[in-house]
Amino acid sequence: MTNKKNRTWADFPEPLPAAAVDSHAHLDLIEEVRSEFSEIQESKGRAAVPAKSVRDYLIDAAAAGVTGVVHSACDLPAVRSVGELLVEAMQGDRSTANVADTSSDGSTDTAADTEPQPMIMDGHIGQPLPGFARVANLVAAVAIHPNEAALHAGIQEPAIDGLDKQFQNWHEVSLEDAISEVYQVAQTNPLVTAIGETGMDFFRTAESGQAAQRLSFREHIRIAQELNLPIQIHDRLAHAEILEVLDSAGILPPVVFHSFSGDQYFAKECIQRGFYLSFSGPITYKKNDDLRAALLVTPLSQLLVETDAPFLTPEPFRGTPNAPYVVSYTLRYIAQLLERPLAEVCQATFENSQTLVASR
């Protein structure tokens, strides 16, 4: 590893022995975090952190063996532009997609001669298209994030995080209207394969915002039920309240606790309800024994892995911007903890992701 002070992106990992999926990443936020981190590094006389395109994230991911990525668009601008982001990622710089493809009549074709196509075929992630074999497949989840829901509802009080609330112009749209935009996009874009992240957050939102979060959560569940899409849950200090809402919501589509943050007892509550637990970088952090205990009670059939990029970078690269290829480190850590072959863990999380994507 490059010395800690001069680090930029996480070192490129050995390719995984079997295909894996980053089940939750915010591709629209990576560039902002990268540029802030780079400025800090440069101000200390250290190396700049090179910029990458959305397509680069997918190229890196595929090269690391991460053949699928679920992008989470969870504020109104991200929801509105999710179609553009998917197209940009899929088309990108064509010169990088020049893998030769031999068609049935024996002639050789290259990606440069073919029309750009969605990288998801028939709703399945992980099957490379001819000419795009070196780019990870991409699908998206859409929602108004619980902390965004409170802002749309005009809640200004500071919460436990002690931060001032940052109102933006899009928060002038009412919560109701924002959620109906989510519904529109989810209904019409076939690459939207999940609703999320939705749920509750009592760390960044004050008590006065909890009613708006609960209402928003219920509405997102209703959309997921109607469209039969999996739900990605954001849960910060709100375990009991989230279970209460889920338990009273009737028949649920598949539920994923994104960046699972509970202990083994909460994990068991989720597992017995058939929910998926998606683990991210914090499982590698020294203080998180509770998370490791939660992982140990999670069956492979309900296990997912994610980056939550650009946040929550796993050790030993904590502090650098996160990106989908970095999920490889979290997977290796998880396999070691479970004392299972890495390929078996990759395959399990891959199959679980396939099942979720295919439920559309």
Return the amino acid letter for 273.
R
Q: In what order do the strands lie in the sheet containing 276-279? A: 20-25, 66-73, 137-142, 192-201, 231-236, 255-257, 276-279, 303-305
What 3 state SS string does 258-314 have? Answer: CCCCCCHHHHHHHHHCCCEEEECHHHHCCCCHHHHHHHHCCCHHHEEECCCECCCCC
In 6-91, where does DSSP find H-type helix? Answer: 30-43, 54-63, 76-80, 82-91
Kindly tell me which of 56 and 308 has the beta carbon lying closer to Zn ion.
308
Kindly state the smallest distance separating residue 281's Cβ from Zn ion, in Å.
12
Q: Per-residue string for binding with Zn ion, 257-296, x by CB under 5 A? A: ----------------------------------------
Show Cβ contacts of residue 7 under 8 Å, excluding neighbours closer than 6 positions.
1, 317, 319, 320
- The tokens describing 263, both together, are 């202990």
Check whether the bond before 197 is cis (ω within 30° of 0): yes
Kindly tell me which of 30 and 90 has the beta carbon lying closer to Zn ion.
30
Kindly tell me which of 147 and 354 has the beta carbon lying closer to Zn ion.
147
- The tokens describing 166, both together, are 């940052």
Kindly state the smallest distance separating residue 232's Cβ from Zn ion, in Å.
8
**Contact between residue 72 and residue 80 where contact means Cβ atoms under 8 Å apart:** no
Kindly state the smallest distance separating residue 198's Cβ from Zn ion, in Å.
11
Kindly tell me which of 41 and 284 has the beta carbon lying closer to Zn ion.
284
Choices 88-96, 266-274, 293-301, 302-310 (CB under 5 A): range interacting with Zn ion: 302-310
Total number of residues binding Zn ion (CB under 5 A)? Answer: 1
Tell me the torsion sign for CA atoms 126, 65, 87, 112: negative
Kindly state the smallest distance separating residue 312's Cβ from Zn ion, in Å.
8
Kindly state the smallest distance separating residue 166's Cβ from Zn ion, in Å.
17
- Site for Zn ion contains 308 (CB under 5 A): yes
- Site for Zn ion contains 201 (CB under 5 A): no
Residue nearest to Zn ion (CB): 308
Kindly state the smallest distance separating residue 3's Cβ from Zn ion, in Å.
30
Kindly tell me which of 18 and 256 has the beta carbon lying closer to Zn ion.
256
3-state class of 341 per DSSP? coil
Choices 87-95, 101-109, 279-287, 308-316 (CB under 5 A): range interacting with Zn ion: 308-316
- Site for Zn ion contains 148 (CB under 5 A): no
**Contact between residue 350 and residue 126 where contact means Cβ atoms under 8 Å apart:** yes
Kindly tell me which of 257 and 329 has the beta carbon lying closer to Zn ion.
257
Kindly tell me which of 132 and 275 has the beta carbon lying closer to Zn ion.
275
Residue of 326, 334, 240 lying closest to 279 (CA atoms): 334
Kindly state the smallest distance separating residue 328's Cβ from Zn ion, in Å.
19
Kindly state the smallest distance separating residue 146's Cβ from Zn ion, in Å.
11
Kindly tell me which of 55 and 236 has the beta carbon lying closer to Zn ion.
236
Choices 40-48, 272-280, 304-312, 330-338 (CB under 5 A): range interacting with Zn ion: 304-312
Tell me the torsion sign for CA atoms 343, 52, 124, 188: positive
Kindly state the smallest distance separating residue 308's Cβ from Zn ion, in Å.
4
Tell me the torsion sign for CA atoms 282, 284, 285, 290: positive
| Burial of residue 305, with CB atoms counted within 10 A of its CB: 0-12 exposed, 13-18 middle, 19 or more buried | buried
Kindly tell me which of 26 and 111 has the beta carbon lying closer to Zn ion.
26
Kindly tell me which of 199 and 254 has the beta carbon lying closer to Zn ion.
199
Kindly state the smallest distance separating residue 105's Cβ from Zn ion, in Å.
46
Show Cβ contacts of residue 244 under 8 Å, excluding neighbours closer than 6 positions.
none
* Residues making contact with Zn ion (CB under 5 A): 308
